[in-house]
Amino acid sequence: MFLRAIALIGILGLLSAVPGDAQVRTNRRDAQTMKQKVATIAARGEVASKQPLRTTVTESEVNSFIAFELGDALPDGVVDPSLTIHGAGRVSGRATVDLDAVRKASGYTSPLDPRSYLTGHLPVLATGTLRATNGVGRLELQSASVGGVPIPKLFLQEIVSYYSKSPERPNGINLDDEFPLPARIREIQVEPGQAIVVQ
């Protein structure tokens, strides 16, 4: 479950905007470090503790983990997800997404619908503020774009819903919903370039 949360943060920007020309640097060492931290966080989640336990994860570790460890967990049609941790709760997510699949599933085909012009595989960027306290998280969306064109929240919601559908969630994730933090995580503090997970 914790792996799924990290994947969704990376994919959907729940958990950042990377400028189009920016290169996200990833490496296997940071991926392994993050994998160990995920295992530690999951193990700590099995045991109640009165003493707060803190784990710091860096932007590079998260992006490396997504790049090297979550390939099979990513939905078909989503590639190159990345996360930017701005600080003060702000995060941005970027991924290249197959918009044709979303359009076909949604059933809109009218040439008068602006969404009909956003076709193919295009970069989707979303920026928002992550509030994660008292064991509950929530993303407050600030902006979103597809291929550099600003889009309304409703269109981003269609994309998120389509790519987050599962047997447990046939309608996918709702951007406005709060979500329980896994592994007894009490809080996530978002600082520039890193996040501190408090259990």
141-161 per-position pLDDT tens digit: 999 999 999 999 999 999 988
What does the alpha-carbon distance between residue 34 and residue 55 come to, in Å, rounded to a whole number? 10
Q: How many domains does the chain have?
A: 1
What does the alpha-carbon distance between residue 141 and residue 127 come to, in Å, rounded to a whole number? 6
Number of Cβ within 10 Å of residue 82's Cβ equals 25
Q: pTM value?
A: 0.84
| Phi-psi label, residue 120: left if phi above 0, alpha if psi -120 to 50, beta otherwise | left
1-60 per-position pLDDT tens digit: 444 444 444 444 433 333 344 557 899 999 999 999 988 998 998 998 889 999 999 999
What does the alpha-carbon distance between residue 145 and residue 155 come to, in Å, rounded to a whole number? 10
Find the domain containing 99 and state its range: 2-198
